Structure 1
Amino acid sequence: MDLFIKRETSLEAHDATETLMAGRARALEQELRDRRGESTVHVMLGKSKEALVDGVLVLVAEDIAKAKTLLPALYLSVDDRGECFISRLRYFSRTNAHRLTHRGKAAVYQITKACLEMECHLVEFLYRDCLRLAVPSDVSEHSLSGCASVLEMTKQSLPLLLGSKSHLASFLVFSFRCIHAQYPCLQKGEKTLCAFFESNKAFLLSLVEKIHYLGKDAIRLLVSVSRIPEFAEILSTWPVELSLPPQEVIAAQIPLVVENKVKYILEHPPSYHMEWLLGKHFQAGSDYLAVDTIRFICLCVHPSEETRKTCMARWWLVRNILLTIQDSAVLSYAYLTLFYDWLFYDGIPMNIEPSYLLLEGAVVHEKDLFNKIFDFLVLLSSRFSQRVDVKTSIGKAFKHAIDSEIATNVNGFASMDSSRYRQFVSLINIEQYN
């Protein structure tokens, strides 16, 4: 069946979940064969919904063509417009996302596509799970195949999805991430990629207005694809908005397993949890995942005051994720992502806390890292956009952090070299800060 990646540490010959699902698939297959004279719907009636979902999923994974007959029959055999089926499939795809093989993911995409065509109840949420499942971490053929599957199902089900700004915004975030991750290959003229994006560019441009739903993050996402002329033109006239993007859209940019692990690490102090996360998910080729995870930590994970006193600091996790990024162009985008809320500061200190404390810690203990980050921030203050008073916003964020309970060692900034200290004083618009 080969739905799951085998666990190297497992003592079992076969994974228990996969064995159970395979057994249900074989039982369903045998009954369909034995009762060939009856309709598929009739054979399925009265069966356990969970067993049916598992069996159908495996059979479709083995032969995608079976989706056309098995899925409509399953939909008609349960009296809930497919809601139980969707719920079970969402649970399966979310809990096993990190273990699914490319074949297993393809099966989930195919089933989701069929469910969209049948307009199953709550299928839009399964669609968003597919976006998460297909987020590319590299430029492999399998990643491109996942992107293609999502684009195809979006095109075919656009009338249904148009009713949800959130889902279409999530799709555009996903699409821009695909373009950003694959752009170096596009520059080299890789024919398959060029043909793929040229054929879908018009569709993406027709929907681009939907990212208004993302508030101020719309500009950040347009920046990520601004090397493509059509998107650069849109960026040049895009209105500045200060509203926060919905957290569910930001979270959808990273795999569910990474979201859960990040939350767990920030609540359980031992450092080996972080070391496991970095070793498992942030190795070579995961630079774009690192950027999206940093944005998620800054915007979506705000520990309580009690938790902050006893558990791992967000800035420390951000710092370690930042250091895994190898590509210089992606690193610049990561710096932009890290300080993005400084450029459009809205008075929410928790959004800037990780980046501020990273600066505060690095200025004393990691001069090279501090110099790189601070120099980038100074550069942003003068060159980001003429339509936004970025320098004033950065100064406001700096002063808010210093004057609030976020700051822990303000005097550390006095240890900068003289030229950077003058820039610091100018940036936060004060005479001196010791």
Structure 2
Amino acid sequence: MVSKLIHVAAYEAENHFELSLRQAFELLEPKLRPPFCLKIPNPQEYKELNWAILYGILCEPHLAKPHIKHLHAIVTDGYGLICYLLRKVVNELYLKLVDSAKCQIFMVTKEMINVCAVGVDAVLISLLRQIVGGDFGEGNLWLCFELVSLLLNSWSYLLEELPEVIPSALYTFLRLLADHCRLSDAKLEPLKQLEIAFCIKVIREQFHFCLKIGRDFIRLLQDLVYVSEFRAVWKDLLLNPSNFRSPGFFDISNFYYTRTSSRYFLLRISPEMEAQLRFLMTNVKLGSQNRYQMWFAKKFLHGSESEMIISDIVRFICCAHHPPNEVIQSDIIPRWAVIGWLLTCCRKNYIKANVKLALFYDWLFFDDQTDKIMNIEPAMLLMVFSIPRYNDMVHTLLEFLFLLVDNYDVERKDKIALGVSSAFSALIKKGVISSLDTLISFDGLSPLLRDRLRVLSSGKKFQVPNELQLFIPNHSVNPLPSSSKSCAGFIYSESHPSCIVGNVNATPVGSSVPIVVDVSAPHHSVVTDVQQCDNIEILVKNLGAVTRKSYKMGLKTLEELLVLFLSLNDNGQAGRTINTEILSSRIVNTYDLCGYKLFCALELPPNGSSYNDEIESATALIIRTFIFYHEKNIQELLLFCSRNGLPVGARLLSYVSRLAYEANKAGLTGNVEFENIDSAEIDSKPQLLLFHLNGYYCFRNGMGGNPQDTVVSFSEIDKEVIAKLIYAYARRRLLNYLLLCWMTLILLICSSRLLQRNFVCLMQASMPLPLKVF
């Protein structure tokens, strides 16, 4: 007999559970037609009758009412068995059910609610788990609509009889709303309004259910701050907590220090996905996981929006899957390796940021008395075991962690810093790592990150000047709506669907922290900004590979990167979408890894026979760009390098001095006639002056050109232009930079020993060079 309950492909074996239901129905079918037998069944008969009735309800919608009446007549266990079978159908067969059977699931569930059946809460939880994140298909949206409608219609019953369902449903629909609100589809509006109505009803009327969820309630709520109803909730959370009329709630910190139970993370993972993930992390050996991961990605991460669920998977792995010691000590693929692979599956920047937030979220509020070390272990091991093969992974994760510390909640920054410090201490105390020396000694880290790690290991408080505070890329860092009190530093997710900054075609994660920052840029320029930001991100990621292959081609890539970065200033507030600190750090680190140090110390005199570092080098390219383009962005890049101990001032002075020296030696700045120019004594090697003139030629013809491809001769530019080029442009830019350095460093000199050292080094490096060339 062909199954009327599920779809079965020709190559698939029969499902044993479905077969049992069908066989019970076929055996007892005569007894399922009225008039019903009045004999009281024995336990075995009662069990088989429940199986047969459920199959009849699901497969015979036109006879559902008689089957329900029959069930009411024979029930002796408070409907416990039928609810168990119904939950089993949802968990094991839902994806294969025919459409009519899915409708019947809701019909019988409503009936179980009406009769206060034992176990109907588990049925509702199972239905919640069947909603797939990132799936905008009709079937999945229909399931959302039916469930939220059922919950709203059964509100009084839920409050009285099934209160444990409400926080689970709230967690689910808050998470789903974040996905649904990203799409501007008229078909989604009715569903979104129902979901918003349910969530707001719970938050405003039964706020104690929110407290039961714990800190992840805040993580989910921050994704919805751009929805007007939730923006009002945010303001009350931060400014008027008494409006919620909950005796146990005094401050948002109540959420921070309440760990979210692992049962909530299971809500966003379907039973089938959970089974596959647990199998992967308990049976598959490290090194043999590729085909299993490919199969998992093909099945669960294949859709255009399916990667939205990766943050839910990471929370499940960190907080709900804690393998025993025998698995941890074996060669089974560890949790950190699975998370590292999941990060590579993220193509969009805001999704990467959300996944990293999910990975580090428990770090921010860690308390070794109440939190579990297993929740924070994967992030730590992912960083440690990524050295040295995946250096960018280490850098991007640490950078992101400190971005969270500085910006997640500015009002409570000290508490968050303490939580992260406690997390590191607990990891060392429990033996997850022996010490932080592995990370501190890692050459791929920027000096700022290394200093912060040292401070954490010593337990001291780290002070970061405002200029050095970074911002988290796009999705996970935005200020709250402005209000009369200071709450603008709190991080929440992406402020508006149109503000998503991500590159679908970008290379996978493992590279570095995205340099894109969403600070509520005006919507009229969003599309252009997104394209430019994505192009910059691509160039930064490719810079290292191109430079290692060909240094000259690397210079072209760097030139394109700088020009594109500077062009953002032409678009109002667009420049605020790029974080100069992160961009500068990644450029410097990229060249360090390629064996070239930007703004390295001067070892030979500029006119030495073997002194060639300033000719067609990355350092010279950045200085030349600074001289010609009067933009704040390039100034900030140089200041970043200076603050991190690089002798920028000395290199600027050397560059300008050598320009004057070569121009004077070639007879281009004195009273020499043009006919003598061609016979002027010029070194046969590439000269800084020619390099500088090529840059000027491109500058004169607009920013769109490529100076690396431009070749000009001295005869093409008259002596007045060359004199202006050497003396006016270079001197003005140099003096402006030095003045800016002095003003900035004097303002900050008292706040950081690091800045004091940079200040002294800058003065010592700059003073010996002659100024008489001016």
TM-score (norm 1): 0.86
Partner of 2:218: 219
1:102 is displaced (CA, Å) by: 4.9
Q: Which moved more, 1:16-25 or 1:256-265?
A: 16-25
State yes or no: 1:305 paired with 2:332.
no
Q: 1:152–1:425: structure 2 CA closer, same or farther, 3 Å change rule? A: same
2:362 maps to 341
Deviation of 1:362 (Å): 2.7
What displacement does 1:416 show?
A: 4.1
Instruction: Report the CA distance between 1:301 and its aligned residue.
Output: 1.8
The one-letter amino acid of 1:297's match is: I
Give, in whole Å, the separation in 2 of the partners of 1:129 and 1:90: 6
Instruction: Report the AA paired with residue 406 of structure 1.
Output: V
Say whether the 8 Å CA contact 1:398–1:428 is kept in structure 2. no
* 2:134–2:309 CA contact under 8 A, matched in 1: yes
Q: CA deviation at 1:424?
A: 3.9
Q: State the partner residue of 1:351.
A: 375
Determine the structure 1 residue equivalent to 2:766. Answer: none
Within-5 A mapping of 1:361-400: 361-389=385-413, 390-400=416-426
**Structure 2 residue runs without a partner (length 5+):** 238-251, 460-774
Structure 1 residues 212 and 417: CA distance shift in structure 2, 3 A: same
1:118 partner amino acid: V
Shift of 1:431: 8.0
Paired residue secondary structure (2:299):
helix
Compared CA separation, residues 301 and 395, structure 1 to 2 (3 A): same
The answer to which structure, 1 or 2, has the higher relative contact order (CA under 8 A, 6+ apart) is 1
Quickly say closer, same or farther: Cα 1:63–1:178, change in 2 above 3 A. farther
Q: 1:429 aligns with which of 438, 448, 455?
A: 455
Instruction: Give the alignment of 1:110-129 within 5 angstroms.
Output: 110-129=107-126
* Displacement of 1:236: 4.2
Please list, as runs of the form range in 1=range in 2, the aligned pairs for 1:32-431 lying within 5 A after superposition. 32-33=32-33, 35=34, 38=35, 48-62=45-59, 64=61, 66-100=63-97, 102-163=99-160, 164-185=162-183, 188=184, 190-208=185-203, 209=207, 210-238=209-237, 239-240=252-253, 241=255, 242-270=257-285, 271-272=288-289, 273-284=292-303, 285-310=305-330, 311-347=332-368, 348-389=372-413, 390-407=416-433, 410-413=436-439, 414-417=441-444, 419=446, 421-426=447-452, 429-430=455-456
Which moved further from structure 2: 336-345 or 377-386?
Answer: 377-386
Partner AA of 1:264 in structure 2: F
Closer, same or farther in 2 for the Cα pair 1:44/1:101, shift >3 Å?
Answer: farther
Distance in 2 (CA, whole Å) between partners of 1:406 and 1:249 is 26
Q: Which residue in the other structure is 2:5 paired with?
A: 3
Q: Which residue of 2 aligns with 1:21?
A: 21
User: C-alpha offsets along residues 90-131 of structure 1, whole Å, 9 cap, x if unaligned?
Assistant: 233223345445554433233222211221112111111111
The alpha carbon displacement at 1:245 in A equals 1.7
Mark the structure with the bigger radius of gyration: 2
Partner Cα distance (1:169, 1:153) in 2: 15
Q: 1:430 to 1:178 in 2, by over 3 A?
A: closer
State the AA in 2 paired with 1:417: G
Query: Residues 428 and 9 from structure 1, CA distance in 2 versus in 1: closer, same or farther, beyond 3 angstroms?
Result: farther
- Give the 3 Å change call, closer, same or farther, for CA 31–172 of structure 1 in structure 2: same
Distance 1:430 1:89, change over 3 A: closer
The secondary structure found in structure 1 opposite 2:260 is: coil
In structure 1, what is the Cα distance between the partners aligned to 2:177 and 2:51? 34
Residues of 1 paired with 2:63 and 2:390: CA distance?
58
Q: Is the 2:129–2:269 contact (alpha carbons within 8 Å) kept by the matching residues of 1?
A: yes
SS across alignment from 1:91: helix
The residue aligned with 2:724 is none
One-letter amino acid of the counterpart of residue 394, structure 1: V
Contact 2:398 2:449 in 1 (8 A): no
Match of 2:560 in 1: none
- The alignment's TM-score, normalised by the length of structure 2, stands at 0.50
Q: Is the 8 A contact 1:269 1:312 kept in 2?
A: yes
- Partner of 2:455, secondary structure, is coil
Structure 1 stretches of 5 or more lacking a match? none
1:111 alignment partner, SS class: helix
Aligned CA distance change for structure 1 residues 196 and 431 (closer, same or farther; 3 Å): closer
SS at match of 2:181: helix
- Report Cα offsets for 1:46-89 as digits up to 9, x if no partner: 79344444444444334546444422431331211111111222
The more displaced of 223-232 and 66-75 is 66-75
1: CA distance, partners of 2:333 / 2:354? 25
Superposed CA deviations along residues 154-195 of structure 1, whole A, max 9, x for unmatched, are: 12222232244431111011111221222222xx2x112112
**CA distance in structure 1 between the aligned counterparts of 2:65 and 2:410, rounded to whole angstroms:** 54
State the alpha-carbon separation in 2 of the partners of residues 431 and 111 from structure 1. 58
Structure 2: distance between partners of 1:146 and 1:44: 37
Q: Secondary structure at the match of 1:79?
A: coil
CA contact (8 A) 2:171 2:213 kept: no
CA distances 1:133-156 after superposition (whole Å, capped 9, x unpaired): 234441111111001111122122
In the alignment, residue 91 of structure 1 is paired with which amino acid? K
Q: Distance in 2 between matches of 1:91 and 1:431?
A: 50
The share of aligned pairs that are identical, in percent, is 21
Contact 1:25 1:55 in 2 (8 A): yes
Is the Cα contact below 8 Å between 1:137 and 1:143 reproduced in 2?
Answer: no
Deviation at 1:204, TM superposition (A): 2.0
398-407 or 60-69: bigger deviation: 60-69
Q: Would you say the 8 A contact 1:67–1:114 is kept in 2?
A: no
Q: Is the 8 A contact 1:360 1:410 kept in 2?
A: no
Give the helix-richer structure, 1 or 2: 1
RMSD: 3.0
Distance 1:72 1:326 in 2: 53
- Assess if the C-alpha contact under 8 Å between 1:287 and 1:330 holds in 2: yes
- Give the number of aligned pairs: 423
Shift of 1:252: 2.3
Residues 1:428 and 1:181: Cα distance change in structure 2 (over 3 Å): farther
The Cα offsets for residues 245-267 of structure 1, whole Å up to 9 and x where unpaired, read as: 22222222211222233233222
Counterpart amino acid of residue 166 in structure 1? E
Given residue 408 of structure 2, which amino acid in structure 1 is its aligned partner? F
Cα gap change, 1:128 to 1:320, in 2 (>3 Å): same
